[in-house]
Structure 1
Amino acid sequence: MVKPVLRPHDDALYAESSASWQVNRHWFPLIGGARAAILQVCDPRVAAGVASYSTYKTDPFGRLDRTLDAMLTISFAAPERREEMLEHLRRGHARVAGTTADGQAYDANDPELQYWVLATLVDTTFEVERRYVGVMRRADRERFFQESKLLATAFGIPDELVPADLDAFRAYVARQFETLEPSDDTREITRSLMRPGLRWLPDQSLVPLNWITTELLPGRLRRLLGLADLNTAELGAVRGARLMARSTLPRLHQALSVNPWNNRVLRPAA
C-alpha cells in the first residue's frame, strides 16, 4: 500500500517542483510566524486595521492562523478553491477601512499594504531559512522571490509595486525597516502576540519562542517596539538552537518535516 502524501493540486498556482512548495511543504517557516505578523503591523495603517477589526485581544493567534490558511490555499489548492479564498479575502477586506490615530487613511484592499504583508512572509521565510536551515543558495532565493510574484498577481497588486528581482526586493525591505514608525496599536498587538495571557497557554511557555522572535526582528524596529535586546544567556540559547537546527532540519525525515497547515488545505494523493 502506498502511503498517502500531500502535494499541490495539479492545477495549483505552484507545482510540486516549485521552490515555493519545496520550502512551504516543511514546517520550519512557521518559526517566523510571529515575526511576520509583527512586521506587518509595524505599518501603522495595518496595525489600525487589525486593532479596529480583528479579535486579536481574545484570539491573538487567529489572524496568523487565517493568514497561513489563506496563503497555502491560494498557493497550492485547486483553482476553484483559490478563487473562493481570494473572493473571501476581498469581501472581508472591503469593510476594513478607516483612519489611524494620526490621520492616515487605510484600506485593507490597498495594494501597497497588501504587498507589504506579502513581503513580510517572503522576507521572514528567507531569514528563518538562513538562520535555522541554511541550504538555500542565492539562485534558490531568486527563484523563490520570482515565484512570489504569482501571489502578488493573484491579489491584484500592480506590477509597478513589486520589486523586479531579489536585490530590488531586499532594498525595498531595508527601506521599510528604516522608515516604518510603529504605533501604539503596533506595540499593543506585539504584546498580545508575545504575552497573550491565555488560560490554556501560560505566557511563560512562550518565552523561548519570544527569544527567537526578538532575535529575528531588525534592531531598529525591535527598539521602537520596546523589546529589550536578549541578554548573553538568552542569545546563547537562541544561537544554540540555530546550530542544532542547521545540523538536523536539512536531514529530517520527510514525515517529520511536514507543515501541519498543509493537512488543512490539501487532500492526500496516492
Structure 2
Amino acid sequence: MSSVPARGPARAAEVAREAAILAGAGAAILLQVADRRVGAGVAAHSRFTEDPLRRLRHTLGYVYAVALPEAAPARDAVVGMVQAQHARVRGVDGGGRPYSADDPDAQLWVAATLFWAGEQVRRRIWGVLDPEDAERLLREYAVLATALGVPTGAWPADRAAFTAYWDRAVAALEVTDDARAIAADLFSGQGLPAPLRAALPLARFVTAGMLPPRVRGGLGWSWTGRDSRREARLWALVRAVYPRLPRRVRGAVAAWTVRGLPTSS
C-alpha cells in the first residue's frame, strides 16, 4: 500500500479523482433539489426510481469532463449534451412558479453544492487546507458553473464570499414535497443491484450527517447526539484506511467513467 499523502488532494482535478468524494453525492443531490426550481425540474423530468444511478452517472460524467485533463477530448460533447438536456427542463411548479434548468442562478447553486459536498468529504479525510490552497481550490471549481454559461463573476471570488453565498442560499431553501419524494426514491433501493441496496443504510446515514440541520429536518430525518458520535467513529476509520489505498484504487471510478465518455466529432 502507498504511504498516506501529506496533505491530501488540493487541486480540483485531484479531488475529483478520489472515489471517496462520492460519499458526498447524496448530500449534494438533496441540497440541489431543496432548491424549489431544481426540485420541480427533477421531479417532472427525471426518473430516480426507474434508473436511480442515472443522475449520478450524468453528474460524474460532467464533473470529470470539465475538471480532469485526461477527459478534455470529451468536454465539448458532454457539455453540449447537458445543455441539450437542460433546454428541455422547464415548466411551472406546484405553486405556479416557473422553473428552468437554464436558470444561471439554479446552475450556480448546483455547482456550489458539488464544491461544498466535495469539501465536506475532503476535510473529513485529510483536514483543513492551508489558506492559499483553499482559495485556489475554490477558484478551480468555478469551471463547473461557468462551463454551462454561468457568468464568471457569479462564482464567489473567495472563501469568505462563498460562505456568505452558501449561508444565504441554505436559508432560502424550500424542502418541498417534491424534494421529500426524491429523497425517498434516492434511498429506496428500487432498481439497484443487491450490493448497492445493502449499502444504502450507510449511504443515508453519511448523507444525513452532512446535510445542514435545516434541510435534514425539512426532509423529516432525525439526528441525535448518538448519531454524531457514530459518525465521528466512522470518519475516523475512513481517515485511517482510505488514504493508504493505492491511488489506482482510489481513482478507479474516475478512470472507468472517463473511458466511457463520448468524444467530440
State whether TM-score is above 0.5: yes
Aligned counterpart in structure 2 of residue 207 of structure 1, from 201, 205, 208: 201
Distance 1:21 1:227, change over 3 A: same
Match of 1:121 in 2: 114
Alignment of 1:76-225 (within 5 A): 76=68, 77-134=70-127, 136-198=129-191, 200-201=193-194, 205-225=199-219
Higher RCO (CA-CA < 8 Å; seq separation 6+): 2
Shift of 1:135: 5.5
Instruction: Give the distance between the partners of 1:143 and 1:266, measured in 2 at CA.
Output: 28
Distance 1:79 1:23, change over 3 A: closer
Superposed CA RMSD? 2.2
Counterpart residue identity of residue 112, structure 1 = D
Whether 2:246 is the aligned partner of 1:253: answer yes
Instruction: Give the distance between the partners of 2:215 and 2:71, measured in 1 at CA.
Output: 38
Distance 1:91 1:242, change over 3 A: same
Alignment of 1:32-111 (within 5 A): 32-76=24-68, 77-111=70-104
> Where does the alignment leave 5 or more consecutive residues of structure 2 unmatched?
1-8, 261-265
Instruction: Give the distance between the partners of 1:121 and 1:41, measured in 2 at CA.
Output: 13
Distance 1:18 1:211, change over 3 A: closer
Instruction: Give the distance between the partners of 2:137 and 2:98, measured in 1 at CA.
Output: 32
Distance 1:93 1:148, change over 3 A: same
Match of 2:222 in 1: 228
Counterpart residue identity of residue 220, structure 1 = R
- Please tell me whether the aligned partners of residues 20 and 121 of structure 2 are also in contact (alpha carbons under 8 angstroms): yes
Q: Residue 260 of structure 1 aligns to a residue in which SS?
A: helix
- Please tell me whether the aligned partners of residues 43 and 180 of structure 1 are also in contact (alpha carbons under 8 angstroms): yes
- Please tell me whether the aligned partners of residues 16 and 63 of structure 2 are also in contact (alpha carbons under 8 angstroms): no
Q: TM-score, normalised by structure 2?
A: 0.86
- Please tell me whether the aligned partners of residues 64 and 71 of structure 2 are also in contact (alpha carbons under 8 angstroms): no
Identity in percent: 33
Matched positions, count:
250
Q: What CA deviation, in whole Å up to 9, does each residue of 1:131-153 have, x standing for no partner? A: 23326333322111111123332
Aligned counterpart in structure 2 of residue 30 of structure 1, from 22, 28, 36: 22
Q: Residue 98 of structure 1 aligns to a residue in which SS?
A: strand
Shift of 1:18: 7.6
> Where does the alignment leave 5 or more consecutive residues of structure 1 unmatched?
1-16
- Please tell me whether the aligned partners of residues 132 and 245 of structure 1 are also in contact (alpha carbons under 8 angstroms): yes
